[in-house]
Amino acid sequence: MALLEINDLSSGYGELQILWGAGLRLESGKLTALVGSNGAGKTTLLRTLMGLVRPWGGAISFDGQTITSLSAHAKADLGLALVPEGRQLFTDMTVYENLELGAAAQRGRPHFKRNIERVFEILPRLKERVNQKAGTMSGGEQQMLAVARGIMAEPRILMFDELSLGLSPILTLSLFETLRKLKSEGLTMLLVEQNVHMALAVSDYAFVLSEGRVTIEGEARALAQNPEVRKAYLGI
């Protein structure tokens, strides 16, 4: 059984419907990708999944429990963590405080010590910056902090929204290397990316979102060879 399952999810903003019955599954221990072009509804799907946008219809179940309309903080307490688009750091607070807040959810609190050491080991740059205000760091460092904050939650599922957006290729590679490390530790992850090529290269399974619906799904390797995907998203 899938760890997280979304069925027939619809939602939007005001009068504007963005999701039209989207569905996906996250298998335990796997890295799943959700790809699609700009405006397909990827971010809305994540925001609805996390409870920042109210679902209009459909169901979300996590570990056998229905969590469709829970508030965002309740979902965070269950172990769903999102590294949001545009990082959304606490820019007026220090790096250390951001990490502390990352561990604010129920699962993160008891493991604070272990996780902060782990984060400093994986992303040593942050250790040099602990007392600096998050908003004063470079874009790349801020993205590292956003990822680190996600790890601090001791999540059962860690989700990334546009991890690579605006980062240099070198930094993107190193962050994807971090994902690989987390995956080897058995963490379930969802990677939402416009960078389809990159996403398919690192993930196990992938869903393609188009105009608010999932149109194609399959093993990431197979999708990378799928002529339709190649034509529409890889530009080949």
Partner 1 sequence: MQQLSLLLTSLPDGILLGFVYGLAAMGLTLIWGVMNVINLSHGPIIALGMFGTFFLFIRLGLNPYFGLFVIALLGLLLGILIYAAAVHRVINAPHLSSLLATFSVNMIIIGLGTAIFTTSPYNVDFNMGSFQIGSVTLLGTRLIAALVAILYTGALYLFLYKTRPGKYIRAVANNRAAAELMGIPSTRILALSFGLGTMLAAVSGALIATFFPFNILSGGSYELKSFVIGVLGGLGNPIGALLGGLILGILEGIIPAFMETSWVPAIEFALFVAILLVRPTGLFGAKR
* Window contacting partner 1 (CB under 8 A); options: 47-55, 169-177, 184-192, 201-209: 47-55
Q: Does 234 bind partner 1 (CB under 8 A)?
A: no
Shortest spacing between CB 72 and partner 1, in angstroms: 4
Report angle CA 221, 22, 58 to the nearest 5 degrees.
140
Q: Does 72 bind partner 1 (CB under 8 A)?
A: yes
Shortest spacing between CB 52 and partner 1, in angstroms: 6
SS3 138: coil
Q: Does 52 bind partner 1 (CB under 8 A)?
A: yes
SS3 25: strand
Q: Does 67 bind partner 1 (CB under 8 A)?
A: no
Q: Which is nearer to partner 1, 17 or 106 (CB)?
A: 106
User: Around 178, how many Cα atoms within 13 Å sit in the side-chain half-sphere?
Assistant: 26
Q: Does 151 bind partner 1 (CB under 8 A)?
A: no
Among 12, 51, 55, 212, binds partner 1 (CB under 8 A): 51
* HEC per residue, 63-112: CCEECCCCCHHHHHHHCEEEECCCCCCCCCCEHHHHHHHHCCCCCCHHHH
Q: Does 149 bind partner 1 (CB under 8 A)?
A: yes
SS3 116: helix
SS3 32: strand
Q: Which is nearer to partner 1, 101 or 234 (CB)?
A: 101
Q: Which is nearer to partner 1, 154 or 193 (CB)?
A: 154
Cβ atoms within 10 Å of 65's Cβ, excluding its own: 9
Q: Which is nearer to partner 1, 106 or 215 (CB)?
A: 106
Among 23, 62, 100, 167, binds partner 1 (CB under 8 A): 100
Torsion of CA 75, 77, 80, 81, to 10 degrees: 110
Among 12, 36, 41, 108, binds partner 1 (CB under 8 A): 108
Contact 143, 171 (CB under 8 A): yes
Q: Does 90 bind partner 1 (CB under 8 A)?
A: yes
For partner 1, the binding residues (CB under 8 A) are 50-52, 71-73, 76-77, 81-82, 84, 88-93, 97, 100-102, 104-106, 108, 149, 153
